[in-house]
Copies of this chain bind each other. A is one copy, B any other.
Amino acid sequence: MELLLSEIAKEIRLTTEEEKAVQAAFTHRKIQKRHLLMKAGETFRYIAFVEKGILRSYLPGIKEEEHVIQFAPEGNWIPDSFNLVEDEISRYNIDALENSEVWLIDRESFQELLQAVPRLETYFRVVMQKRLNALHLRVINYLMHFAEDKYKMFVDVYPDIVQRAPQHMIASYLGIKPETLSRNRKKIATRKS
């Protein structure tokens, strides 16, 4: 819980009472590497704060072609759409890339918590603002013409994820094929020496 509370503390100051309310609203969960936290089509909907490890959301895709939507290392929320209202059912799968720990909250608890601690609205608004910026960055990334540039920008912005996620997932995230990414990485490497 430490990480979540410290993240909140960056935006707003909570009383110990309020901190307790926050703690009570979430449930802890460990997820083993490669295991699912959430499955597309499920009706039970919640959002997760990643306390340890790294998760990822993706669209299952028809003919076995997954589309990676988000990587969420420690300190991030997933799914970052915070979509607890619009759809009853999840559109994404969410699984863990490493053994991870998360704090879960479902829709009802989320609404109740916001009622109990209204100043959390500010925290969530700021979090969403940051995510909107991150997504804008991603859109700009897609508007780049060459796959090589897309990858280089990704490395710049998320050097940590490059280390922790397999290449074919990064390729999927960037909208290119694993083979193409492999070839471009080679090009970049040979050019440097």
CB-contact partner of A135 in B121, B124, B132, under 8 A: B132
A13 on the interface (CB 8 Å rule)?
A: no
Min Cβ gap A2→B in Å is 25
CB-contact partner of A125 in B67, B86, B128, under 8 A: B128
Instruction: Tell me how many chains of this kind the complex includes.
Output: 2
The verdict on A140 contacting B85 (CB below 8 Å), with A124-B125, A125-B128, A128-B132 known, is no
Q: In whole angstroms, how far apart are the Cα atoms of A142 and B135 in the complex?
A: 12
A68-82 interface code vs B (CB 8 A; 1 in, 0 out): 010000000000111
Min Cβ gap A95→B in Å is 18
A4 on the interface (CB 8 Å rule)?
A: no
The verdict on A140 contacting B86 (CB below 8 Å), with A132-B81, A132-B128, A135-B135 known, is no
Interface residues contributed by chain A, number (CB under 8 Å): 31
A138 on the interface (CB 8 Å rule)?
A: yes
Q: Find out whether the CB atom of A131 lies under 8 angstroms from the CB atom of B132.
A: yes
A14 on the interface (CB 8 Å rule)?
A: no
10 CB-based A-B contacts, threshold 8 Å: A69-B136, A83-B129, A118-B121, A128-B129, A128-B132, A135-B135, A135-B139, A139-B142, A142-B142, A142-B175
